[in-house]
Structure 1
Amino acid sequence: MKKLVILFGLYMFAGSSMAADEAKQTLVGDAAAGEGKAAICAACHGPDGNSALGTFPSIAGQHPRYLVKQLREYKLGATTNGAEGRYDPVMSGQAVSLSEQDMYDLAAYFSQQEHKLGETTEEIAAEGMALFMGGDLERGITACAACHGPSGAGAGQAAFPLLSGQHPEYTKAQLEKFRAGERANDPNAMMRDVAAKLTDRDIEVLSQYIRGLH
């Protein structure tokens, strides 16, 4: 019960912070404008946001608030040489020239695209489901479903991302970065705290399970 209260408190803090940030914004994304601006994104993410390569995430159907947050932090990573935000040599280089309106427009466009679902092998499904849905109380691992939902749909208002159908290669890479502390743009270190307790096997089965989750 205590852990549930702590988790709820973290969720409310993250959600209220996001709401405060949004209240300061008057920008509205224009999906039609975003489609034109998305041409450069297609090389890695696909024209409709469904990436063909596992190393690049599919962003079709992703929550707009999450997309804007990541683009802002990639831009911050570029301007601070990786000291703040989120840094990636490709994405930070692309985001550095984006205006706030560009970010909102791109987020509006990609969020309206239908994301493609994947499949999970039967051998992985049961093991992955147990950890995703129930976590591991003995190891202090919170269930992924607590924030991302049982179907991996995420929570748009809290900027918790859609996971359903994501490439296992990308999911695995991100969990490994959170575990190593190489990615640190998660509110209240929520993902780093969970990932620090995951084994290589945990990360593998979760990544494969999420691919077929819907």
Structure 2
Amino acid sequence: MQDSRLSGYNLGFVKTLLWLRAFVCWGNAFVDLRRAKFLRSPHYFLMHFLMGLTMLNKLTTLKLSSLFAALMFSMSVTQAAGPVKVFKPDLAKGKEIMQQCVACHGADGNASAPIYPKIAGQHAEYLYKQLVNFKSGKDGEKPLRENAIMAGFAAGLSDDDMKNVSAYLEAQKQTLGSAKNKDTLALGEQIYRGGIAEKKIPACAGCHSPNGAGIPAQYPRLGGQHAQYTESQLVAFRDGVRNNSEQMSAIATKMSDKEMKAVSDYIAGLR
């Protein structure tokens, strides 16, 4: 199953992602200029600008030999497996499965309790990946995400069930949130849009987009999420409880509790 998924990635997809990352980085650099941050903190502008150039450099250094090998592999898998069956999610079944989630996540995926995440409007690919990661690992290995409640729920779902409920939730509308702590708002904005240069922490906006919408199939939607939940996930990444993103684990280990709390509160108000 993993091979068939990988074979679907082609040169055009890779180029699109790299171009998108480059434009997001340059967009952040432009925001820094407009907000007159260049004179006060030029390193934020330079960091965003250089990140964009890095993405562009990756575009120009893609090796044709590797791409050719990937293409040959894709063709061999397709020929061996026959016509690729495209999964079409059943939203009605997804809604039915969602009834098991109401107690924590709400009827439409907008959890009211801040300890549970809002999952309405979240990218289906991301939700599917999380459900897979909640399942026990192979040969008794620990799951990449440890959560007793979610592990029990995910254990009873088939692969199609996971895809159906993920697609249903993506189709729902997320409720708006708001930042509540005025004292940490500036720090939260600085971290989200400019990162922390002295700790080599990149801007959150570079991956999760300036408005927190994320990038489908790659980075989750964050805007409007409960601050308490977002903070708890940063702590989980730092403490090794959540291990399904090396990038986030590396970032969280460099952050203080104050920084986590500030950026989590700021994220809650993004829209």
TM-score, L = length of structure 2: 0.68
Measured in 2, the distance between the counterparts of 1:25 and 1:118 equals 39
Q: What is the aligned partner in structure 2 of residue 97 from structure 1? A: 156
Q: What is the aligned partner in structure 2 of residue 212 from structure 1? A: 269
Q: Which of these two proteins has the greater Rg computed from alpha carbons?
A: 2
**Residue 74 (str. 1) matches residue 129 (str. 2):** no
Measured in 2, the distance between the counterparts of 1:172 and 1:81 equals 29
Letter in 2 for 1:132: Y
Alpha carbons of 1:32 and 1:3: their partners in 2 closer, same or farther (altered >3 Å)? same
Alpha carbons of 1:7 and 1:203: their partners in 2 closer, same or farther (altered >3 Å)? farther
TM-score, L = length of structure 1: 0.85
Q: What is the aligned partner in structure 2 of residue 198 from structure 1? A: 255
**What stretches of structure 1 of length at least 5 have no aligned partner?**
13-19
Report if aligned partners of 1:50, 1:60 keep a CA contact under 8 Å in 2. yes
Measured in 1, the distance between the counterparts of 2:184 and 2:235 equals 19
Alpha carbons of 1:44 and 1:185: their partners in 2 closer, same or farther (altered >3 Å)? same
**Residue 139 (str. 1) matches residue 199 (str. 2):** yes
Measured in 2, the distance between the counterparts of 1:165 and 1:80 equals 38
**Residue 177 (str. 1) matches residue 236 (str. 2):** yes
Alpha carbons of 1:155 and 1:52: their partners in 2 closer, same or farther (altered >3 Å)? same
Alpha carbons of 1:31 and 1:163: their partners in 2 closer, same or farther (altered >3 Å)? same
RMSD: 2.5
**Residue 42 (str. 1) matches residue 102 (str. 2):** yes
**Residue 4 (str. 1) matches residue 61 (str. 2):** no
Report if aligned partners of 1:76, 1:86 keep a CA contact under 8 Å in 2. no
Report if aligned partners of 1:41, 1:47 keep a CA contact under 8 Å in 2. yes
Letter in 1 for 2:167: A
Moved more, 57-66 or 125-134: 125-134
TM-fit CA distance, 1:5? 7.3
**After TM superposition, which residue ranges in structure 1, 4 or more long, deviate above 3 angstroms?**
5-9, 23-26, 79-82
Give identity over the alignment, percent.
Answer: 38
Q: 1:165 aligns with which of 207, 224, 228?
A: 224
Moved more, 138-147 or 124-133: 124-133
TM-fit CA distance, 1:3? 7.0
Letter in 2 for 1:76: S
Moved more, 62-71 or 114-123: 114-123
Alpha carbons of 1:163 and 1:7: their partners in 2 closer, same or farther (altered >3 Å)? farther
Matches for 1:77-88 after TM superposition, within 5 Å: 77=137, 83-88=142-147
Measured in 2, the distance between the counterparts of 1:25 and 1:127 equals 48
Letter in 2 for 1:197: K
**What stretches of structure 2 of length at least 5 have no aligned partner?**
1-46, 60-73, 79-83
Alpha carbons of 1:63 and 1:206: their partners in 2 closer, same or farther (altered >3 Å)? same
Q: What is the aligned partner in structure 2 of residue 117 from structure 1? A: 176
The number of equivalent residue pairs is 200
TM-fit CA distance, 1:137? 1.3
Letter in 2 for 1:4: M
Report if aligned partners of 2:207, 2:214 keep a CA contact under 8 Å in 1. yes
Measured in 1, the distance between the counterparts of 2:108 and 2:51 equals 38
Alpha carbons of 1:25 and 1:5: their partners in 2 closer, same or farther (altered >3 Å)? farther
Alpha carbons of 1:7 and 1:82: their partners in 2 closer, same or farther (altered >3 Å)? farther
- Summarize deviations over 1:163-185 as a string: whole Å, max 9, x none: 01111111111000111122110
Larger RCO (CA under 8 A, 6+ residues apart): 1
